[in-house]
């Protein structure tokens, strides 16, 4: 059974940075594209970044140039570097397959506030 465990969130001031991690287990990680989603209060979950097995990346317009997705197949882990954070980035962040999600993890809360 696929298990996804996100970590690295926290409270950060506007303009700050965070690095999120997602450890995956129960599947052959290197064979799957991966993505990062976020869900803000009262909003639908949205895909903000994805990375293919060939390490091609794609980003939502709202995070392009500020967020960077990467992966470490040896550690079965996908990362999301968040820079130049603004209050609009406040959300729970999840990792999962970018088009055919498995069971969702608990997510990691990112709060951007002064």
Mean pLDDT across the stretch 34-56? 97
> Strands 108-112, 10-12: parallel, antiparallel or unpaired by DSSP?
parallel
Residue 100's pLDDT is 93
By residue count, the chain amounts to 114
Taking only the tens place, the pLDDT of each residue in 68-88 is 999 999 999 999 999 999 999
State the chain's mean pLDDT as an integer.
97
So what's the pLDDT on residue 66?
Answer: 98
**Which string of b and e fits 34-57 if b means at least 16 CB within 10 Å?**
bbbbbeeeeeebebbbbbeeeeee
Percent residues over pLDDT 70 in the chain: 100
């Amino acid at each position: 059974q696929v298990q996804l465990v996100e970590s690295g969130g926290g409270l950060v001031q506007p303009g700050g940075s965070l690095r999120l991690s997602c450890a995956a287990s129960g599947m052959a990680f290197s064979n799957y594209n991966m993505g990062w989603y976020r869900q803000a209060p009262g909003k639908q979950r949205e895909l903000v970044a994805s990375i293919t097995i060939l390490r091609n990346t794609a980003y939502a317009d709202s995070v392009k140039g500020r967020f960077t997705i990467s992966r470490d197949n040896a550690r079965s882990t996908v990362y999301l570097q968040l820079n130049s954070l603004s209050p609009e980035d406040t959300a729970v962040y999840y990792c999962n397959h970018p088009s055919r999600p498995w069971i969702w993890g608990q997510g990691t809360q990112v709060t951007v506030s002064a």
